[in-house]
Amino acid sequence: MADGVSKAVLITGCSSGIGHATAEHLARSGWAVYATARRPDSLADLADAGCRTLALDVLDEGSMRAAVAEVESEEGAVGVLVNNAGYGQSGAVEAVPLDLVRRNLETNVFGYLRMAQLVLPGMRRQRWGRIINLSSVAGRVTMPGSGIYSSTKFAIRAMTDALRFEVRGFGVDVVLIEPGPIRTHFTGSANAGMPDGAGADGTYADYHSAVAKADAEADQSKLLAGDPDDVARVIGRAASARHPRARYRVTIPSRLLPAIRGVLPDRAFDAFLRTQAPPPGA
């Protein structure tokens, strides 16, 4: 803590992917990093890299409170919150069971919201803080099979825009990171959790297969997809910038797809989506 201002970083969802890469990158850059996951034993290599590791489950109020309290007891405040914990839920809207929809919203949206609520009092007290929310190009453009997941990311975008306006006067910046396809296990996990279609009599089985194939191809594209380290470096810039931008986009699709969506009328954009996956019932 320098000059009474803590710049300690608390990152959620560090067991793999973007969260893991971000914790490692910021620790190497000299930040005091608190890397968290539901199972802290999955963070052993980050501890070796100089991170403090804590248990944090964004579906557990007590766990979230305890993690924030631990950082505040050692540092005075959470200086930078990186809201990263989340996962994808693929599948046709009709076919995804409601309990899976609720869990995705609880994790991806309510987890971000509650973590922001918990760290903000400390940030306001020291008149400095930064909240960095991981969203996605899916928060701007809804691709086939991503209705549920995109809903969570659209919600994160709206919450971030409101929060940025509300806390800037307290010295707190709120930043949105919008990656496109990233080469992680994220899409594989989303597709593995895709419903088998039983809830809709198997109507969407072929559609789900086409969506899984298109998503996998995008995530492995050398031209379109990025690596977790690409996102980690952008988060590092957002954390260290004197005046960070409101939003940062990572990879070509994160810039290109919203531009296409903004130019094309709805019917024309739907025609573009048909090139990605044949619509059900066609």
Give the catalytic positions in this structure: 15, 135, 149, 153
Report the run of H or E that residue 9 belongs to, with start and end: strand 9-11
3-state helix, strand, coil in the chain (%, to 5): 55, 15, 35
Q: In the beta sheet, which residues pair with residue 249? A: 178
Question: CA 65 from chain center: how many Å?
Answer: 20
Report the run of H or E that residue 211 belongs to, with start and end: helix 205-220
DSSP-assigned letter for residue 106: I
Q: In the beta sheet, which residues pair with residue 55? A: 37
CA 31/CA 71 separation, integer angstroms: 13
- 149-154: long-range contacts at Cβ-Cβ below 8 A with a sequence spacing of 24 or more? 149/88, 149/89, 149/90, 149/104, 149/108, 149/190, 151/105, 152/86, 152/89, 152/104, 152/105, 152/108, 152/109, 153/108
CA 122/CA 81 separation, integer angstroms: 11
